[in-house]
Each structure stands twice: as structure tokens, then as C-alpha cells.
């Protein structure tokens, strides 16, 4: 029911964006739960969630493209990636220098 003849389009877009963001977080948490097969709990840091979302949206990325997109150093990216690689959430195709990181 409209009051005052206002257009609800902007509000609906806002609500839909909020729902999308929530669903993305749920998806990332589900990936986290799938990684606990070994009974070892992996708690994702916000930057790791960002990394997983980036790989989901863009697909496999070369190492340099990954740390450029995350705006971190090579070592910073590896600190984010290593737990995800160990948990089996992310995989490296090829070598560390010429390969690509992708979601498993």
C-alpha cells in the first residue's frame, strides 16, 4: 500500500542488495563448514571471505591478479590463502608463479 504516492523502487533495491549481501555471507559460511571435514574448525577472517567472493565472482585468478584485487602484498595474500589451501576450499592449478587460484 503506497502512502503519499511515493515510489518504492529505491527502497526495494536497497532491501534486495541487503538480502544479496546476507546470502553471500551465508554461502561463504557454508563453504567454511564444508572445510571442517577433518573436524578442524576454520574461522574465516573478513579478508578471506572477500578472497573467496572474488574467486567466486571472477573465477580462477593468477597470483598477481589476486593480490592486486585484494590490495595486499604477496605475503599478505599468501597468509590469507594458506589456511584456505590447507582446508581444501581453494586450489592452486599450476605453479605458484604461473598458476591460478580457484575455488574447489
What distance in Å separates the CA atoms of residue 25 and residue 21, rounded to the nearest whole number?
6
What's the pLDDT tens digit per position in 49-94?
A: 999 999 999 999 998 898 899 999 989 988 999 999 988 889 999 8
What is the pLDDT, as a whole number, of residue 39?
55
pLDDT of 38 strictly over 50 = yes
What is the pLDDT, as a whole number, of residue 87?
86
3-state secondary structure (DSSP) of residue 66: helix
What is the pLDDT, as a whole number, of residue 1?
46
What distance in Å separates the CA atoms of residue 8 and residue 6, rounded to the nearest whole number?
6
pTM of the model: 0.60
pLDDT of 102 strictly over 80 = yes
Q: What percent of the chain has pLDDT over 90?
A: 41
Orientation of helix 46-58 relative to helix 63-70, angle to 10° = 130
3-state secondary structure (DSSP) of residue 42: coil
Give all domains of the chain, ordered by start, each with its CATH number.
9-103 (1.10.10.10)
31 CB contacts (<8 Å, ≥6 apart)?
52, 89, 103
Is the separation of the CB atoms in 55 and 103 below 8 Å? yes
Amino acid at each position: 500500500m503506497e502512502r503519499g504516492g511515493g515510489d518504492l523502487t529505491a527502497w526495494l533495491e536497497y532491501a534486495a542488495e541487503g538480502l544479496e549481501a546476507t546470502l553471500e555471507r551465508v554461502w561463504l559460511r557454508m563453504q567454511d563448514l564444508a572445510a571442517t571435514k577433518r573436524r578442524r574448525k576454520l574461522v574465516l577472517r573478513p579478508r578471506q571471505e572477500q578472497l573467496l567472493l572474488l574467486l567466486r565472482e571472477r573465477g580462477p585468478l593468477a597470483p598477481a591478479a589476486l593480490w592486486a584485487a585484494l590490495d595486499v602484498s604477496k605475503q599478505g595474500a599468501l597468509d590469507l590463502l594458506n589456511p584456505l589451501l590447507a582446508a581444501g576450499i581453494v586450489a592452486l592449478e599450476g605453479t605458484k608463479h604461473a598458476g591460478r587460484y580457484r575455488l574447489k
